[in-house]
Amino acid sequence: LSLSGIAFWSHDIGGFWNPVNPGQGPEPELYIRWTQWGLLSSHSRFHGIRGREPWWFGDRAIEEVRRFALLRSRLLPYLWSCANEAVATATPVVRPLLLEYPDDPTTHHIDTQYLLGPWLLVAPVFDWQGRVRVYLPHGRWFDFWTGEAVEGGRWLSLTAPLDWLPLYVRDDSLLPLGPEMTHVGERPWAPLEVAVRVSNGASLAVDGEGAQVRIEARREGEGVALELSGQAELVLRFESPAASSAEASGDVADVRLEPAGGCLGLSLRLDGRAQVRAR
């Protein structure tokens, strides 16, 4: 669908209709796996001829739907920026790997994983035993859950427990994360947390829910330099390269260093233009 020019597409989580047993929903395990995939899409809905709410599928399903729905709420600034890119350039939010890696022939036949926007690689689990093979294109990737760096250009053979699916962050990325919310618009994206992973450079634009900011990042020796503009309350989380110090200058206030997700974070309030250097 993405290669056909459809920038936004999704599916009925849990399936609309069961042709084998009409009126019956999926098994709870299948429902959970479907939920993990469906909530990491451009948009998401639980829908079918019978109830697809999680309480029809047991306590474990309720727990996993809640966990991945909260993750999706944190990803809203990223999804919003991807949606703006789709409107401006027609680049789809959900992308086949070959769209970003056309010179890698391995990506040309992969239809069991995808890129969510430019920076997140999602590999849904389709096997009852949780077995999944994941291809990481060339370059450096980071496990979203642990932060572990993984070199690409190879296949990974993994076994996924029911509460997990493979999710990787591309190097040279500025991944924006908002607060956990129970519904869209519950609170502004403040502070807007940005996970900085820069080997060469990256750029980010976020405009919505109380955060209007543009960031240009580039590698500078052993550290990283960022140019910021806009109005936002930010926490810059320096994932790669790891930093032990950071400083900000320009139109900023309330600047302070703090731990953020196991690495150094720089918290600040931006109102105009500013420069940040971390090393």
- Topology at the third CATH level for domain 1-170: TIM Barrel (3.20.20)
Global pTM?
Answer: 0.94
pLDDT digits (tens, 9 = 90+) for 166-203: 999 999 999 999 999 999 989 999 999 999 999 999 99
Residue 228 near residue 274 (C-beta atoms within 8 A): yes
* Predicted confidence (pLDDT) at residue 32 exceeds the cutoff of 90: yes
pLDDT digits (tens, 9 = 90+) for 40-67: 999 998 888 787 889 999 999 999 999 9
Q: Which residue has the tokens 């590999």?
A: 123
Domain positions in the chain = 1-170, 173-278
Output the 3-class SS for 215-244.
Answer: EEEEEECCEEEEEEEEEEEEEEEEEECCCC
Domain 173-278 classified CATH 2.60.40.1180?
A: yes
Q: Which amino acid is at 128?
A: W
